[in-house]
Structure 1
């Protein structure tokens, strides 16, 4: 794994890493198909995104294109080619990841929406439903992240209880 890719991955906390399976690989900050093939200027922008999201800074196409030193249209083309999804979808996936993390940590939907960069709870709920097919309900998230050991079948749990 190259150093730039590691910097992107390490920009997310432990809970956000656990939220990735729910969102799928297309929204995973580590899902850059081949980090060595990512255009160096896109890599500059990718490295800045986690910090910008954390600080509620601008992550618009225009701003990230300026960070990379490319025109917005050229940046969008190269970003999509390098990462495999458009910038807007990538940013939205990272925001959903953050919202999942906040919800799993016990935050309210309103608080999670605010911390993840959504305009309000309704926007987060609508986006959640559209992208994931569920509402941002903590109990649903908890079920989605319930993992069992390979030999932990319902029969073995019933016998041990």
Structure 2
């Protein structure tokens, strides 16, 4: 893949010189496809280290927006209640689009996925507390037990009844830190 061409037919984008430098480090391949970078082992190690860092501490705002923190607390407070992004946006004094943008920036996921995950966690807590799947699904805010089952299957690759048939122990490690307002008095 090449970048934009200048009037003389040369690549003019800023990355073209870096691309050429990288291609020069390839130890095998042809003019189109380079293989075996001289520093491949180091590059893979560095990429792996960066992946671990991103997983442990995802990039995101250092100072959470207090409005988003409040929205998260509202979602967590009553998982079974269906709260729309529009309702929370109004409570935050934001447009829906701005709320969704800030929410994703602060949580690393979409509002819909976050709400679904909080429901799934609540259902798991109820199941761990010896509730049946129907009760857990309903109290966690799923539209129906089949909706819960389909969502569980989509997320984890097997139906909840199949997992539970193996007799697993479900336990939760509570987070020590919660979303807090960053307002100063």
Report if TM-score (shorter chain) is over 0.5. yes
Structure 1 residues 43-52 or 60-69, which shifts more? 43-52
Aligned length: 114
Q: 2:156 aligns with which of 132, 141, 150?
A: 132
Q: Give distance in 2, aligned partners of 1:132 and 1:60.
A: 25
Query: Runs of at least 4 residues of structure 1 off by over 4 A?
Result: 31-36
Q: Report what 2:94 is aligned to.
A: 70
Larger Rg: 2
Q: Confirm or deny that 1:102 pairs with 2:103.
A: no
Q: Report what 1:93 is aligned to.
A: 117
User: What root-mean-square deviation, in Å, do the aligned CA atoms of Structure 1 and Structure 2 show?
Assistant: 2.5
Task: State TM-score, norm by structure 2.
Answer: 0.54
Change (3 A) 1:141 1:105: farther
Task: State TM-score, norm by structure 1.
Answer: 0.62
Q: Give distance in 2, aligned partners of 1:76 and 1:68.
A: 11
Greater RCO, CA 8 A, separation 6+: 1
Q: Report what 1:25 is aligned to.
A: none
Superposed counterparts of 1:43-82, under 5 Å: 43-53=69-79, 56-82=80-106
SS class of match (1:62): helix
Change (3 A) 1:97 1:141: farther
